[in-house]
Amino acid sequence: MKKGILRAGMTILLMVCVHVIASEDLMGGFVEGFGTSFRVENSLYQNFTLESSIPVRVLIRSVPNMITLQFDSVGAGRTALISIQGLPTNSLFHLYRDDLYNHDTLLVDGQGKGAFSLDLNECRTIIIQPRPSTLFLREDGWYHSTAVKGVLDKIVGEDSLAWDPENRIARLNADIHQTIQIEVDSATIDGQGYSVVPNVAQGMYLTRRKKLTIRNFRFTNCTFAMYSLLDSSLITNCAFEKNVIGIYSTAQSKDLVISNNTFRDNNLMTPGMGVCVDNLSACDIVDNTFENQGHGIYLVKSATNSKGIVQITGNLVQGNLRGIGVSGNSQGSVLAYVRSNIITANKTGILAVRGNDIRIEENTISANDTGIVLQMCKTSLVRGNQVLGNTLFGIRLIGKADSACSENLVVGNMVKHSDRGISLDTNSINNLVYQNSFENNENATFSSVGQNKFDNGPTWGGNWWSDWPEGEPRIMNNGLCIDFHPFATEEFPRETEVPFTTLSLPSPNGRNGWFTQDVMVSFASSDGGSGIWKTSYLVQNGTSQVTRSYTGPFAVVTEGRNTLTYNAIDNLG
């Protein structure tokens, strides 16, 4: 049989105006949930119980020499009394509210309990650590912290630190052994190859900053080498080695580019991470090297950036426990585009958990224990990857009884020399797998019986299996691929049709084209070629930014101007 050229599918885009997840975290000491009492039990640093006087949603991290607490807003005028039980008795900690300038002390009594009040009219970040020591870059120069709350001393005549306010450039001229907090925008911060070595604390703290370029730094022996909440900024040409986490990008970051950096041996606490993009952050991770840490790249509940996706492209990811991890929540709110990376010699190459609309395309994934895992994912795409020499599984789909792995498309991949080329468990259903080459695998496939489709008909074909005689039906595993259909080649037609979607709306009942009541929206998608895989839509109204798969008519209920974006994708992706 000829293995023909596989042609990519087509997309049409139109516009019209109109919790606790600790069991899925990749490191210890992380707890998230909603309530009044939370217990950290698996930290390598400090275990404790946090209690709140009012119900709160909080994300807790306990890592070497640092506890961070991220609280969601509960509304204007609401204040919570927060207590932490289980700290070293009769001790003193340093507490920072939202940044390292707002410094306070946390006194711990003889029972190991410390308490503080917190205004939760907006989202808040609390940092608790055993010692203070911070440099601050402000508009009029460099400062350092003092023992007096809220008082900073300006640094004068120090050759190791420079700031040119006219040209907006700050420079290091020597290694630094303190945390650096940046309090300027629209500037370049140049490490000039020098190191930030703060002795197990944060390396650089960047919160609510925008239009920064951070370049040419070396970060070593940090908890979070770079803790960032950045808007429209670039981190480039930096080296992150022997930290707990290289870059931690948190909520409300957007359009952050992480490019041409090296992340190596970040295992100060096992397992460490190169980059963690957490809790509705958004960034592009491009042309970096990730080597020999617990997890190279980890995305948690990541949302879209201005380009519509979180992009992970052109990276070398090798020798990690998990190369690239993407973890959503029970709603699967992850949008990620993983493309053209080299992912080799990891325990797991790519692991996606509870993600919708993840695209894993054109990667070279080799010599891992397992190449690609989709766990409880929906409407995600695995296309055009070279999955070569992975010991256990080439591609694996896993679901749970209450959360199936379903409606995913696996098309156009080359899978060679694995124990199992592709595996779909009994909770993986309604997935489409076709136009793939499975060559010289010990076991070509293991599939749940009758729940998935391995054949898209005589025009678009099934899969090529090197262990099956050419020209005969493949009927193993209870109807895996009943009919013999080759790939599209010169003798067989290929995709020429563009998916088309028709929008249906009622007639406006108000003046000047406005609606005065909820608006019911429906779509009808068609494709004359391989068929429709899915239709997706996004309603933008200033609050909602979630892309959803279309399953039937829905109502737009938010008052004001709503922008509706929708697209249809065919069965070639």
Kindly provide the residue ranges of all beta strands, DSSP E only, lying in 413-492, ordered along the sequence.
Answer: 414-416, 420-424, 428-429, 432-434, 437-439, 443-446, 464-465
pLDDT band at 497 (very low <50, low <70, confident <90, very high): low
Does position 492 have pLDDT exceeding 50, yes or no? no
Beta-carbon count within 10 A of 76 CB:
9
For residue 456, report the phi and psi dihedrals to the nearest 5 degrees.
Answer: -105, 30
Least confident of 60-64, 437-441, 499-503, 545-549: 545-549
pLDDT digits (tens, 9 = 90+) for 305-325: 334 468 899 999 999 999 999
CB of 255 closer than 8 Å to CB of 234: no
Query: CB count, 10 Å around CB of 528?
Result: 12
Q: How far apart are CA 210 and CA 320, in angstroms?
A: 32
Give me the residue label for tokens 């908890």: 223
Question: Per-residue pLDDT for 237 more than 90?
Answer: yes
Whether pLDDT at 147 is above 80: no
pLDDT higher at 245 or 153? 245
Of 133-142, 251-260, 381-390, 529-538, the range with the lowest mean pLDDT is: 529-538
CA distances from 109 to 84, 106, 126, 278, 340 (A): 11, 10, 20, 33, 54
Rounded to an integer, the average pLDDT of 341-367 is 93
Q: Mean of the pLDDT values across residues 231-236? A: 93
pLDDT for res 129 = 84
Place of tokens 């070509």: 444
pLDDT at 561: 80
At residue 19, the pLDDT reads 30
pLDDT tens-place string over residues 261-285 = 999 999 866 678 999 887 655 689 9
Cβ atoms of 323 and 352 within 8 Å: the answer is no
pLDDT per residue as tens digits for the range 74-127: 888 889 999 999 999 999 998 988 877 788 889 999 999 999 999 999 889 898
Q: Who has greater pLDDT, 3 or 534?
A: 534
More confident residue, 507 or 389: 389
pTM of the predicted model as reported, rounded to 2 decimal places: 0.73
